[in-house]
Amino acid sequence: GDSVTQMEGPVTLSEEAFLTINCTYTATGYPSLFWYVQYPGEGLQLLLKATKADDKGSNKGFEATYRKETTSFHLEKGSVQVSDSAVYFCALTNTGNQFYFGTGTSLTVIP
Amino acid sequence: DSGVTQTPKHLITATGQRVTLRCSPRSGDLSVYWYQQSLDQGLQFLIHYYNGEERAKGNILERFSAQQFPDLHSELNLSSLELGDSALYFCASSEGLAGGVYNEQFFGPGTRLTVL
Q: Higher-confidence residue: A39 or A97? A: A39
Q: What is the pLDDT of residues B6-60, one digit of tens each?
A: 999 999 999 999 999 999 999 989 999 999 998 777 789 999 999 999 988 988 9
Q: Is the pLDDT of residue A107 over 50?
A: yes
Query: Mean pLDDT in chain A?
Result: 93
- Using alpha carbons, list the distances in angstroms from residue A90 to A5, A41, A71: 8, 19, 13
Q: Which of B45, B104, B110 sits opposite A34 (nearest CB)?
A: B104
- Length reported for chain B: 116
Residue B83, C-beta contacts closer than 8 angstroms, at least 6 positions apart: B15, B115, B116
Asked if residues B20 and B65 have their Cβ atoms less than 8 Å apart, the reply is no
CA distance A19 to chain B (A): 22
| Chain B contact present for A14, CB below 8 A | no
| Chain B contact present for A3, CB below 8 A | no
H-type helices in chain B, by residue range?
Answer: none
Q: What is the pLDDT of residue B99?
A: 44
Helix (H, G, I), strand (E, B) or coil at B85: helix
Query: Mean pLDDT in chain B?
Result: 91
DSSP letter assigned to residue A86: E
| Chain B contact present for A93, CB below 8 A | yes
